[in-house]
Amino acid sequence: MSAEKILVVDDETNICELLKLYLEKEGYEVYTANNGADAVSVFKEVDPDLTLLDIMLPVLDGWQVCREIRKFSDKPVIMLTAKAETFDKVLGFELGADDYVVKPFDTKEVMARVKAVLRRSGGGAKADIKEVRYDKLIINLTNYELTVDGKKIDTPPKELELLYHLASNPNRVYTRDQLLDEVWGFDYYGDSRTVDVHVKRLRAKLEGVSDKWELKTVWSVGYKFATND
C-alpha cells in the first residue's frame, strides 16, 4: 500500500519543514509549496489526500487556493492561519475547508486533526489506530477519546496523552521530568507540578472504576500505570 499524500502550503519554510518532519514520522508522503500559485500547481500534479493550507500566502492567498482546488477536487483541506476571527472561519468553511487550526499550533493537535479529517473523508484507513484497553477503560489517541466504564469522558488532549503514555507502558515508573520531556516535549518550559495537576485531574475521572489497574504515585520518584497482571 502506498502512503497517503499530504500537501503543506505555507510561506514560512520553517513551518513547512516542521510539519513535513512530523507528518513523515507518521508515515505520510509530504509535498510542500510556499505560495498560492505553486500550491495549485503541486495539487494538480500529485493529487494529495489532504492539504494543510495557510491563508496569508503570496501570489494567491489561501482563500483563492481553496476556491481553485474546489473547482476540481473534494479532497479535504485544513486551513492554517494566525487569524482567529469568526468571519475567517465561516468564510473558510463556506469555501469548502474541512477544518481550521489557529497559529501558533501544537504539532500533536495538527496530527490528530489530520487523522480525524482523513477518517471522516474515507481516508486514513492505513493509519495505525493508537489505542490501549484495560478493564472498563479505553484510551484512544487516534480519536482523542477516553471511555471509562462504557461512557465517553471529556478529557483535554494533554491529559489523554499523559494517560496513554503511562498505560502504554504498564508498571513502568516515570519521573516527572521524563513525563514532561516525553509527553509535553523538549520545547515545553514548565515545571514538574504540571504533571501533578494533570495526574490529579485524571484520578478524579478514573477513581474506583476498576481494581485491575491504578494510576499510582511512586513516592519520591514519579508515577506509573499499575496493573495486576
Residue 196 maps to a domain: yes
Last residue of a domain, one of 120, 147, 167: 120
At residue 211, does pLDDT exceed 90? yes
Last residue of a domain, one of 88, 120, 152: 120
At residue 48, does pLDDT exceed 70? yes
Q: What is the pLDDT of residue 126?
A: 46
Q: What is the pLDDT of residue 219?
A: 92
Query: Domain limits at 62?
Result: 5-120
Is the model more confident about 181 or about 4?
Answer: 4
Q: What is the pLDDT of residue 22?
A: 92
Q: What is the pLDDT of residue 69?
A: 93
Residue 30 maps to a domain: yes
Mean pLDDT calculated for residue range 191-211: 90
Q: What is the pLDDT of residue 125?
A: 47
Taking Cα atoms as reference points, which of 132, 22, 12, 144 lies closest to residue 80?
12
Using the structure block, give the residue that is written with the C-alpha cell 490528530: 112
Are residues 23 and 104 located together in one domain of the fold?
yes
Q: What is the pLDDT of residue 15?
A: 94
State how far the Cα of 219 lies from the Cα of 111, in Å rounded to an integer.
Answer: 34
At residue 87, does pLDDT exceed 60? no
